Amino acid sequence: MLMLRSSMLAGLALLAVALPVPAGAQIVETSVLPAPDLFSNAGRETGLGQDLWKDASAETARTVLPLLVQKALSPASSALARAVLATGARGPDGAGDDPALAAARTRALIALGEAPAAQAILSRTPGLERHEALSRAAAEAALLTGADQGACDVAQALSVDREQVYWLRLRAYCQARAGEPAARLTYELAQGVERDAVFGRLIGAKLAGTGDPGAAALRNGLDLALSRSLGLDLSSTDPGPGVAAALSAPPPPEARWPVEAGEGPVSAAIAVLAQGDLALAEGVRGALVQDEIPQADILDLALLDALIAAAAGRDDRATLDRLVERGGVGEARSRRRAQEAALILAALGTPLSAQARGEFATFNLPAAKAPVARTFALGQAAAAKLQGETALLALWTSQEAGPAGPGVADRAQIIAALAMAGLSDHARAFAVEGLLALR
C-alpha cells in the first residue's frame, strides 16, 4: 500500500512539471534565506540594507573594527561607524560566526556612545554564555546603561573562562550588592589573581558599608557601577572612552559639529547648518546681499554656498566655479582655503566646467596620507558597490587621522568613494565636515 501511494505521488509530481503554465499566470520564485549569524542582529534602525557586508573582506573587518576603540573619531567618521556597526546584516564571508570579531563590533559601538545598541544586539545573540569576549561586552553594555542586574545575570550564566579577573571582580560586586557573604571571598580571589588598588578601594567600601571610598573611578562599566552605587561624584574624575560616551547625551544618528557663531550673518548661518538646520541656513543666505554684509567677502559667501550645497546634496556649479576662481587670486591662505573647498565640492560629484578644470589642474594641494594600496582598495570596493567594505576602508583612514578627521586629499577620496558606493548621506557629512574646517 505504501509503495502504491509513493508511486502515485511521484506520478502526480511528474504530471505537474509537464503541465503548461496558463497564459497570464504569475510564476513565483522562492529562495532560501541564509541563516542568521553573529552580525545579523541590529542595534537600531540605520537605513542600511541587509546586504551591507556582501562580498566584504573579512581581513579588512578584522583589521579595522578593533581600531575603532583606540581613539576618538571625527563627527562624520563616528556617524558612519555607528550606522555601519548598528546595522543588522550577515557578516563578511568567513567572519560572520567569529565571536572575537562580533565582540569587536559591540565594543566599538560602546566606545562610540551606542551602548544601548550594543545591549540590544547582545541580548538577542544566542550562545552568549559560551563566548567570554561577547559576554564581557554584554556585561559592560549593561553596566554602562545602569542595568547592573543584567550584567550580573550575564556573569552568572557564563560557562567559560569564569576565573578571569574581570569576572571575579564583577561577581564580587554582584554578590556585594545582593548582600551575599561570599562577596569578600570572591573579592580576595580577584585580588589574588591581579591586584588592583582602585577596585580594592571601591569594593572594600562597598563591603564595609562605611568609610571613605575616595574618588570615583571611571575606567570601565564596572568602575562606573561601583562608583554610582557608592554615591560618588562622577564629575570629579576623567572617564575612559566608553564611560565618557555613556555619561554624555546619546549621539544623534547624523553628524553634528560644535561650531560657535562669530560676528555677522554668514558665521551665524554656518553655525546653524553645523547643527543640522539646513532650512534656517538657507533662509539666512537668501536674505544676504554681498555689498551689505559686514565682515564677509566673496570667499566667505562661497564657502557658505558650498556648505549649503553639500548638506543639501545638490550640484552647485556656479559655486564650484567661484571657488576655483578664488583659488587663483589673493593671499596664500585664502587661495588654499578656496582650492581645498573646490576639491571637496567636486568630490561630491559636482562637475567642473572646462575652464575651471584647467585652472583646478594647476593647484598644488597637499598629498594624501593614506597608503596608495588602501586608497586603491577603497576605489575598487566603491566601484563594486560594496558598502560595508567601503565604509571600513574609509574608517581606517579616518581613525588614523583622529578627531579632526582626514586631511583634504584623503577626505576627497573618501567622499567620492562613499558617494559611489551608495552611502551618499555619509559622503555629504564628510564634505560638510571638511568645509567647516575651512571657515
Written as one string, the DSSP assignment of 122-161 is HHT-TTGGG-HHHHHHHHHHHHHTT-HHHHHHHHHH--SS
**Cβ contact 163:142 at 8 Å:** no
Q: Which residue has the cell 569564569?
A: 162
Euclidean distance between CA atoms 260 and 267, whole angstroms:
8
Q: Show the cell assigned to 173.
A: 560586586
Q: Which of 15-19, 148-152, 199-203, 257-261 comes out lowest in average pLDDT?
A: 15-19
pLDDT band for position 298 (cuts 50, 70, 90): confident
| DSSP H stretches of helix in 230-364 | 241-247, 265-274, 278-286, 298-312, 317-326, 332-347, 354-360
Euclidean distance between CA atoms 407 and 401, whole angstroms:
8
Q: Which residue has the cell 552568572?
A: 156
Burial 256-294 (b: 16+ CB within 10 A, else e): ebeeeeeeebbbebbbbbbebeeeebbebbeeeeeeeee
Name 178's Cβ contacts closer than 8 Å, sequence gap at least 6.
152
Mean pLDDT of the residues in the chain: 91
What pLDDT digit, counting tens, does each position of 134-145 carry?
999 999 999 999
CB neighbour class for 21 (10 Å; exposed up to 12, middle 13-18, buried from 19): exposed
pLDDT at 2: 32
What pLDDT digit, counting tens, does each position of 42-93 carry?
999 999 999 999 999 999 999 999 999 999 999 999 999 999 999 999 999 9
What pLDDT digit, counting tens, does each position of 154-207 carry?
999 999 999 999 999 999 999 999 999 999 999 999 999 999 999 999 999 999
Of 152, 66, 77, which is closest to residue 107 (Cα–Cα)? 66
Euclidean distance between CA atoms 141 and 150, whole angstroms:
9
CB atoms within 10 A of CB 370: 22
Q: Determine which helix (DSSP H) or strand (DSSP E) holds 191, and give its type and residue range.
A: helix 182-193
CB atoms within 10 A of CB 29: 4
Euclidean distance between CA atoms 386 and 307, whole angstroms:
27
First to last CA, the chain: 87
Euclidean distance between CA atoms 319 and 317, whole angstroms:
5
Amino acid at 97: D
The share of the chain scoring above pLDDT 90, in percent, equals 85
What pLDDT digit, counting tens, does each position of 24-46 carry?
545 544 445 568 999 999 999 99
Euclidean distance between CA atoms 171 and 159, whole angstroms:
14
pLDDT at 262: 80
Of 298, 330, 337, 352, which is closest to residue 434 (Cα–Cα)? 337
Concatenating the DSSP letter of every residue in 343-384 gives HHHHHTTPPPPHHHHHHHTT--PPPP-S-HHHHHHHHHHHHT
For 18, phi then psi, to 5°, come to -75, -25
Amino acid at 436: L
Q: Which residue has the cell 578644470?
A: 357
Euclidean distance between CA atoms 107 and 117, whole angstroms:
11
Q: Show the cell assigned to 219.
A: 575606567
pLDDT band for position 438 (cuts 50, 70, 90): very high
Q: Look up residue 201 and give its DSSP letter.
A: H
**Cβ contact 310:281 at 8 Å:** no
Euclidean distance between CA atoms 125 and 116, whole angstroms:
14
Of 70, 60, 105, which is closest to residue 387 (Cα–Cα)? 60
pTM value surpassing 0.95: no
